[in-house]
Amino acid sequence: MIKLKYPTIEQLEVRLKNMNKEDTLSYDKSYDAFLRYFSSKDVITEDDLIISSNFTYGWMPTILNFKDTNFSECVEILNKSKIVDRLEKYEIEALKRLINNSLVGSSKLLHFINPEKYAIWDSRVCNFLSGSTSKYFIEKTEIFFEYLDICLELIQNDKYEILIYQPYMEIMNNKNTSKMKSIEQIMFLNSNNGI
């Protein structure tokens, strides 16, 4: 049975020291633009949902297909995601149904809207934490919630600021990066060197 492993701050620190800024130059330019897009939006509209779903899929190896017609419901969910600590399981699953039936795509969209609360979840992060890239496992909302809990637990660790976040910010030279993003990107860039 596949399970997520909980990394220690020290394990992340070792991976952080192996990171190379050059691996993220193109990524960072797009990332900052995506964050700016949502930071300027007081209210997310259906057009914003469609546009942002498409730019999110620019980072994915598949073409976006809207798999449902629940646009109005998902617009409400995205607006709610800006103000609550965490969406409910049924809300995440409604987004997933619309956005290519993909939790990965939905997590990326949620991250761009609220980077302090949602970390990007994908096969590389899953591989880092579990040694698996099973689509069945990756697409489970409960596993996504467990991953967010792992990120929050790491961020709340007394050593996080000094051992992870400050060195990460120096390496990345990006003042817009959230704490959730720092954890996710260390895992993403070290996906072949998991725990």
* pLDDT for res 167: 94
* pLDDT for res 176: 73
CB count within 10 Å of CB 112 equals 22
* pLDDT for res 28: 79
Cα 9 to the chain's mean position, in Å? 19
* pLDDT for res 23: 67
CB 111 within 8 A of CB 118: yes
- Angle made by CA atoms 83, 123, 169, in degrees to the nearest 5: 60
Collect the ranges in the chain with pLDDT lower than 50: none
Structure tokens given for 105: 């795509």
CB 113 within 8 A of CB 51: no
Provide φ and ψ at 66, rounded to 5°.
Answer: -75, 120
Contacts of 183 (CB under 8 A, 6+ apart): 12, 119, 151, 154, 155, 164
Residue 165: what residue type? Y
* pLDDT for res 32: 87
